A and B are shown apart, each in its own frame.
Chain A
Amino acid sequence: MQRRALIGIALAIVLYALVPLAFAGNLYLMSMIVAALTIGGVALAWALLGNLGGLVSFGHAAFFGVGSYASALLVMKAGWPIGGSLIAGGVCAALAAVLVLPALRLRGPYFALAVLAYAHIFRIIATEWKGLTNGAGGIGNIPRFPVVFGYDFASKTGGYWIVLSLVLAFAAIYAWVRDSHAGLALRAMQHSEDATRAVGVNSQFLKALMLFLSAFMTGVMGAFNAHYINFLEPDYAFSGLWTMLPIVAAIFGGYRTITGPLIGAVVVYLLDQLVFKALMPIGHQIVLGALLGAMILFAPEGLLSLFRRRRLQQGGVPAAASRNA
């Protein structure tokens, strides 16, 4: 326990202090890291729904977009403070997820397809409801993060600290849910829903809770992104990339773990933007697709499982201990 606490403190120092110290001078790289963590937050939310709720979603772009627009509009039209509007963005995304509830009865690809269609509906609403969203023209000059105690959180490093804090908070919530009795029941449900219902588990309710939590997290990430980039348009906020990239990241890193989607997001996005894009300015995402295909074939449990396998071969961490990474 003491060792884990020490590792946690060391990791916090590295993430909060050393990363900004090392890269703050390179604004391009910092913005890439912030974008990677934003995708990581959505990947974590997507993985939570998949790992605990047993549901594969192709529609997280809808929650991201709703969170973006809700937060931007609350600040610009209702004068909300940004801190409150970030939470409200998540709440609005969770409320939007209420419309998905009927689809919870669907299984496998049918749920995924239903949510994909649902995401398109929100994109159309954002485009057509011009009185509220300014339609395809988008919303510009969205207020940036404020100056707090003399520090400008609108800077790249300020944005990095905010998104890092959000992602770590979500990871802690995910771990808490996973280790709770509800988490045990959710894991059990994936093998036999009938068996869990027979001992009193309200499986539909628990799945709905995971959907709301996942939508909330995604909505908060969308809200953060809106104030970080200061501009929104429907094709950007509801872009399929906000679904695709997190899925790729989660599968790449290992969607059954908490750290996997985050590490996957950082590795995948930085590799794509800093390496593949430099080598292949057009069509660089082909390499990403090939890498993902290779991962699914050779390490379906994700990148982390490769390291774990190696450590096990060297007589390191027992499987049971590494299961909850």
Chain B
Amino acid sequence: MLELRDIRVRFGGLHALDGVSLSVAAGEIVGLVGPNGAGKTTLFDVISGTVRPHRGTLHFENADISRTSAYQRARRGIGRTFQIPQPMHTLTVAENLTVAQRFGTGQVNPNTVAEILDLVELTDRASRDAASELSLAELKALEVAKALATQPRLLLLDEVLAGLEASGKRRFTKLLADIHARYKPAILIIEHDIETISTLCPRTAVLNFGQLIADGAPDVVFSQPDVVASYTGAVHDA
């Protein structure tokens, strides 16, 4: 479904991504881990079209999307969330989803909006509140809901559990499993919590200094010495 080949991104002298190749199959859940500054969010920016790579190609559902804009990729079926939630502040929760659905899919279906709101448990706040009035957990849920409203076949989730308490994380992990069971999108998820990755993802890719250093089953990947040195070591240091 998604095929990245030799992706390179430089910010000045910094190699944010250095020859990354990665593929994701339809319906697959892949965890993307690595220490801070490894290039995970940059990779999401490249896939979603926010950042143009200096080299490399992207194929999505057998089409070359390397030169398409962010909005075109969203319409093709690539949905994403942002590490720092970016709601449409002045709009209500329901309006946020309506805009996402209208522009992401070309149509508005209030039933689907209601279904998504119910799934992320934001029905009570749908038309009453502006998005700017939501708590962090609700903002994270809205990020996911907005992406879902575009009917993505590939969902990019950037640290959606970060900042949540343990019970919130458990609830959110179950929500993501429910979303996958119901809509069957491929999911690429950035997450620092190894337990969550191990629970959700049959496959994990590890980035370090812009390079892909491991890709496989979580238990295998997390026992590799270079991954332990880079990722888990960095976490312990932090």
Are B82 and A181 in touch, CB under 8 angstroms? no
Task: Kindly identify which residue among B91, B105, B147 contacts A188, using a CB–CB cutoff of 8 Å.
Answer: B91
Are B74 and A198 in touch, CB under 8 angstroms? yes
Of B92-100, B116-124, B174-182, the stretch lying at the interface with chain A is: B92-100
> CA A163 – CA B70 in complex, angstroms?
42
A185 neighbours in B (Cβ, 8 Å): 99, 102-103
Task: Kindly identify which residue among A188, A191, A192, A197 contacts B74, using a CB–CB cutoff of 8 Å.
Answer: A197
B100 neighbours in A (Cβ, 8 Å): 199-200
> CA A201 – CA B70 in complex, angstroms?
9
Are A199 and B146 in touch, CB under 8 angstroms? yes
A184 close to B (CB within 8 Å): yes
Are A181 and B108 in touch, CB under 8 angstroms? yes
A203 close to B (CB within 8 Å): yes
CB distance from A224 to the nearest CB of B (A): 34
Are A194 and B82 in touch, CB under 8 angstroms? yes
A284 close to B (CB within 8 Å): no
Are B86 and A203 in touch, CB under 8 angstroms? no
Q: How large is the interface on B (under 10, 10 to 19, 20 to 34, 35 or more residues)?
A: 20 to 34
Task: Kindly identify which residue among B50, B90, B108, B147 contacts A199, using a CB–CB cutoff of 8 Å.
Answer: B147
Number of A-B contacts (CB under 8 A): 80
> CA A197 – CA B69 in complex, angstroms?
9
| Most B CB within 10 A of own CB, among A184, A192, A195, A201 | A195
Task: Kindly identify which residue among A184, A194, A195, A199 contacts B104, using a CB–CB cutoff of 8 Å.
Answer: A199
B169 close to A (CB within 8 Å): no
- From known contacts A181-B98, A181-B108, infer whether A200 and B103 are also in contact, taking CB-CB under 8 Å: yes
B70 neighbours in A (Cβ, 8 Å): 194, 197-198
> CA A194 – CA B146 in complex, angstroms?
13
CB distance from B119 to the nearest CB of A (A): 17
CB distance from A322 to the nearest CB of B (A): 14
Are B90 and A187 in touch, CB under 8 angstroms? yes
| Most A CB within 10 A of own CB, among B49, B75, B86, B105 | B86
A188 neighbours in B (Cβ, 8 Å): 88-91, 96, 99
Residues of B40-90 at the interface with A, using a CB-CB cut-off of 8 Å, are 48-50, 69-71, 74-75, 79-80, 82, 86-90
> CA A22 – CA B183 in complex, angstroms?
66
A196 close to B (CB within 8 Å): yes
B29 close to A (CB within 8 Å): no
Task: Kindly identify which residue among B82, B87, B89, B99 contacts A201, using a CB–CB cutoff of 8 Å.
Answer: B99
B48 neighbours in A (Cβ, 8 Å): 198
Task: Write the chain A residue with the least CB distance to B78.
Answer: A198
Are B69 and A196 in touch, CB under 8 angstroms? no
A285 neighbours in B (Cβ, 8 Å): none
B87 neighbours in A (Cβ, 8 Å): 195
> CA A185 – CA B189 in complex, angstroms?
27
- From known contacts A197-B69, A199-B74, A200-B150, infer whether A181 and B50 are also in contact, taking CB-CB under 8 Å: no
A191 neighbours in B (Cβ, 8 Å): 86, 88-90
> CA A40 – CA B187 in complex, angstroms?
52
> CA A201 – CA B98 in complex, angstroms?
12
- From known contacts A185-B99, A185-B103, infer whether A200 and B74 are also in contact, taking CB-CB under 8 Å: yes
Q: 9 smallest A-B Cβ distances: which pairs?
A: A188-B88, A195-B86, A199-B100, A200-B104, A200-B103, A200-B74, A197-B70, A192-B86, A181-B102
5 contacts between A and B (CB under 8 A): A181-B99, A187-B90, A192-B88, A199-B79, A199-B149
